A and B are shown apart, each in its own frame.
Chain A
Amino acid sequence: MKKYTYILILAGIGSMAFFDGKWDLLVYPSYFPQPTYNFENNPLKAEKVNLGRVLFYDPILSRDHSTSCASCHSPYNAFAHTDHDLSHGIDDQIGTRNAPPLFNLAWQETFMWDGAIHHLDMQALAPISHPKEMGSSIREVVEKLQASDIYPTRFAKAFGDSSITGQHLLQALSQFQLTLVSAKAKYDEVKAGRAAFTTQEENGYALYQRNCSSCHTEPLFSSYEMANNGLPLDTTLNDFGKGAITKQAQDSLKFKIPSLRNLSFTYPYMHDGRFRKLRHVIQHYTGGIQDLAQTDIKYKIQLSSNEKADLIAFLLTLNDKTFVFDPKHQFPRAPFND
């Protein structure tokens, strides 16, 4: 009984915090940690979120007006790019990495597979400038937005200044992305006491906790740290991950640990999209790693075929259809009427 009272009080405090109007743009469950994004420098505001959403879906961000953020970060794929191992950008060019899904970004402090970017605001600079992605520059984008019929008014509404700056453009993009919270999977329903795992899912949960949770930590299902998970170097790409950025030997082949949430929507897997199926990923961890000592994986995971099925059953409870089909994250159909 005591336990339930405690939970009720916590839930009460939680719902007050989320629905007092200030935080209703960022709704997350009470068992999530505090966001790490510093909202003081960029407080959420509906007009800014909406502006960010319009920008996210607008190919004006690319040199030839062909490619928007959503081209590689589709809402129906949890903002990843299903079926594409490597991302592609303007002039049908192919990049070197798999487009990662976008959700729960307010809890992340490093971005990109190599962890090279240390603030969400600055992340958009990379795809905007990359010659194989949008092939433009922030200065060019700001000039185009300033010359457009609609954006000066929208920036004025959001930021109180119709003269568009790089700062405001990046902050608006952050605002929309910060609202992409995925926390309504079956796992979350179970956490909230509104649903129960099947026996198979329950078994899979225990296997996950024993074997996967030190890197793919609950409740975000990633520690969002950098790790070498034992993938052999693909010599057609020669991607050394964090090592190429820091030039430190100990960082070689380290990549950002992805979340396990929304797995079914975000295949293929790994930084270069080399695994098309979840079972290929499990095959990697249960026998595909050549030299464990060179990696951050502590041991070869031993799973029977039944256990593999159980683990996958649990992992599927991390799929969040409510998030993936949430209309308020999708293409703004009447973008300029709100």
Chain B
Amino acid sequence: MRMIKPMLSLFLLFLCTYATSQSTSVVQVSFVPTYKETLILLDESTDEGLLLEDLSIETLRFYISGIALYQGEESVFTLVNSFHLIDAASPSSLVIQFEVPESLAYTHIQFKIGIDSLTNVSGALGGDLDPTKGMYWTWQSGYINFKLEGVAERSPARHHRFQFHIGGYQAPFESVQTVKLGLKNKEAIDIQVAIDKWLASIDLGETYQIMSPNATAMKMAQRLPLIYSIKK
């Protein structure tokens, strides 16, 4: 009797795998964070960040959620339970794979940078949303949608550090952003994240530390969609 349940589940799993394996194709979305065309890959085992021409980057992590595929204006596929923590220090986190019906026609990918407000107030969540991931504020509710930390000579902060923790889900500082990109390749979608473009829009000598939802954080959040593009 005890064995029936697992066996039944195995059988069902097999049935599902069999039924779907015939008619799906895999979509692979890869995020490629760059600074002036230099790939940002961080090594957590060293304390030093990635040294670039005029600054170094120590942490780059952001949430991607709500991945959907569009045929023009029409949504044709929505990935369920789509919450992904992209971490420049974890190469495997940069790639998201999922299956779609083989014959599915689509021209665009849409996703959110960050976490929607409902998820923000849904209690303790697991997986990439687990608060141990260091992407949840402690003294107030809310996920950090986008985190960039490093050192730049221009920053007047202690040790010339800069820290951007961009988040907030309540009006007027709802920082989650939606991005929709036209596709060149349907199955292998490489998305460049041009960090230099984002930093170019601010002066690190004046804006170097944002760690709560506020007007400046909001402005910086609104500039995030501009740095995501399909890689040429």
A: residues with CB less than 8 A from B are: 38, 41-42, 114, 116-122, 125-126, 128-130, 137-139, 142, 165-171, 174, 245-247
Contacts and interface: CB of A to CB of B under 8 A. Distances in A.
B44 to A, nearest CB: 13
Given A122-B131, A125-B136, A116 B141 contact: yes
A166 B130 contact: yes
A126 B139 contact: yes
A122 B139 contact: no
Interface of B: 120-126, 129-134, 136-141, 170, 214-215
B141 A117 contact: yes
Contacts of B124: 42, 119, 121-122, 166-171, 174
Given A42-B124, A118-B121, A167-B125, A245 B140 contact: yes
A126 B140 CA distance: 8
Contacts of A121: 123-124
19 contacts: A41-B122, A116-B139, A117-B141, A118-B121, A118-B141, A122-B124, A122-B136, A125-B131, A125-B137, A126-B138, A130-B139, A138-B138, A165-B126, A166-B124, A167-B125, A168-B124, A170-B131, A174-B124, A246-B170
Contacts of A169: 124
B112 to A, nearest CB: 19
A121 B123 CA distance: 5
Secondary structure dominating the interface of B: loop
B123 A166 contact: no
B138 A125 contact: yes
A99 to B, nearest CB: 15
A128 B139 CA distance: 10
Given A139-B132, A170-B123, A171-B123, 10 more contacts: A114-B140, A118-B121, A119-B124, A122-B141, A125-B131, A165-B126, A165-B130, A165-B132, A174-B123, A246-B170
Contacts of A126: 138-139
A130 B138 contact: yes
B123 to A, nearest CB: 4
A119 B123 contact: yes
Contacts of A118: 120-121, 141
A3 to B, nearest CB: 40
Contacts of A116: 139-141
A39 to B, nearest CB: 10
Nearest to A41: B123
B15 to A, nearest CB: 25
A302 B124 CA distance: 46
A122 B120 CA distance: 10
Nearest to A140: B132
A142 B132 contact: yes
Query: Which 9 residue pairs of A and B lie closest in terms of their CB atoms, listed nearest first?
Result: A116-B140, A170-B124, A166-B132, A121-B124, A129-B138, A121-B123, A118-B141, A167-B126, A125-B138
B97 to A, nearest CB: 23
